[in-house]
Amino acid sequence: MNADMLRTAVGLNWAGTYQYQAAGIAHAESIPEVQRLVADADRIRTLGTRHSFNDLADTTGTLVTVTSIPADVELDPTARTVTVGAGTRYGVLADFLEERGWALHNMGSLPHISVGGAISTGTHGSGNRNGNLSTAVRALTFVGPDGDLRTVRKGDPDFGGSVIALGALGVLVRVTLAIEPSYLVRQDVYRGLHWNELLPNLLAVTASGYSVSIFTDWVSEDSHVWVKQRVDSVDVMPAPDLFGATLDHPSSPPLTDALDSNLTEFGIAGPWAHRLPHFRLDATPSVGSEIQTEYFVDLDIAAAALQALRPLGGQMKPHLVGTELRTTAADELWLSPAHRQPVLGIHFTWHNHPDAVAKLLPQIEQALVLYGGRTHWGKLHHQTAGSLIPLYERIDDMWDLIARTDPGGKFTNDHLDRVLRPR
């Protein structure tokens, strides 16, 4: 089918809080179709499942999405890899793997995001020993500016710049990820973790499970903690308390009004694919009409960074659905916020209050300057090249890679110029 026939108006991001400016979107149904589209375009960017919160994906030219190309999953048990269409949702891939006894090392909070979009922004789950989702990548196949296919493998000199590439190196059509044998995970909630216990014990709290999330509203003295533990059997029971916080009974009242029926199951071990994500694939994740923001700080100074943010709690609270704190292990990816440093992600889900959030972001960013706070690439922020470039030591290598791969700048956009291009 001719991709031109499939062009439609672009519309909004998933949360309904960003209006794409591109003139239209082409829904490619095959790799050759992507190749033709790219070769014919002057400016083109890729859109995944629209779960980002800013203009990162946008373009003054055309958008293309590969989410309609069949997943065509290739499992290689010997190499312990799986290769999949880049537009495939993580939840679809996770179910495919689980049914065959295999697993990924981690998942983001929602399984609805595309593999290509998630790895392009360094999407992460949690766990002191878990790299972000991009660290599972073993090979990538892009459609380059001339429409040619180009594969980059782990070990190639440009690999470190090619995974979290923010869409700047072409349209990703196939992705190979590392897999491991399937495992069970049990998730439990601890309520009542006091700030006075959390701050001095932050590393120990985040090390208390395979994947740990701490939820706070900044104002209450107590946080609650979700601990996802890898277990060998469904009979393994969690510790009764965690630094003074007490284990929740699964029949306790909901955690928040906004979330509950869409969450994965607590209090009973189950497959990794249905416990590591917070949200179920068959339900609408999070709250829907929302804005998200997240900043990363090095883990060894994270407690001090949290202290620096607490005075803003009163201003933040009326606009905040909640804050989630998660850890990510260090990696070697050039644009990773965890490049060579384990980090704490300080995440904010905001109500759809754009004016209030616009006033709060500069204050949050100012409070985090001393701690090298750097944005999640896919979330709303006010940071620009002036503050971000000094935090990324491989930035010149990245622009060199972009210039070699896409000399005409077909895949770059205003967002990349604003936040990453050296002046």
Ligand X SMILES: Cc1cc2nc3c(=O)[nH]c(=O)nc-3n(C[C@H](O)[C@H](O)[C@H](O)COP(=O)(O)OP(=O)(O)OC[C@H]3O[C@@H](n4cnc5c(N)ncnc54)[C@H](O)[C@@H]3O)c2cc1C
Judged by CB under 6 A, does residue 144 bind ligand X? Answer: no
Contact residue for ligand X among 26, 38, 171, 302 (CB under 6 A): 171
Burial of 270 (0-12, 13-18, 19+ CB in 10 A): middle
**Which three-class secondary structure state does DSSP give residue 215?**
strand
Contact residue for ligand X among 17, 35, 37, 50 (CB under 6 A): 50
Q: H or E segment at 395?
A: helix 395-405
The distance of closest approach from Cβ of residue 259 to ligand X in the complex, given in angstroms and rounded to an integer, is 10
For residue 12, the number of C-alpha atoms closer than 13 Å in the C-beta half-sphere is 9
Q: Which is nearer to ligand X, 56 or 367 (CB)?
A: 56
Q: Quick one: which segment of 75-83, 115-123, 223-231, 359-367 binds ligand X (CB under 6 A)?
A: 115-123
Judged by CB under 6 A, does residue 161 bind ligand X? Answer: no
Q: Quick one: which segment of 111-119, 215-223, 232-240, 304-312 binds ligand X (CB under 6 A)?
A: 111-119
Joined together, the tokens standing for residue 52 give 């980002």
Joined together, the tokens standing for residue 51 give 């779960």
Asked if 296 and 373 count as a contact pair (C-beta separation under 8 A), the reply is yes
Judged by CB under 6 A, does residue 120 bind ligand X? Answer: yes
CA angle (250 as vertex; 327, 289 as ends), nearest 5 = 60
Joined together, the tokens standing for residue 192 give 């009542």
Residue 43 vs residues 168, 247, 410: alpha-carbon distances, Å: 11, 53, 4
Q: Which is nearer to ligand X, 197 or 206 (CB)?
A: 206
Judged by CB under 6 A, does residue 45 bind ligand X? Answer: yes
- At residue 36, φ and ψ (nearest 5 deg) are -65, -45
Show the site string, 176-205: x = touches ligand X by CB under 6 A, - = not.
------------------------------
DSSP class of residue 390 equals G
Residue nearest to ligand X (CB): 117
Q: Which is nearer to ligand X, 311 or 408 (CB)?
A: 408
Q: Which is nearer to ligand X, 125 or 372 (CB)?
A: 125
Q: What are the residues binding ligand X (CB under 6 A)?
A: 14-15, 45-52, 56-57, 66, 86, 108-110, 113-114, 116-118, 120-121, 123-124, 166-167, 171-172, 285-286, 292, 376, 378
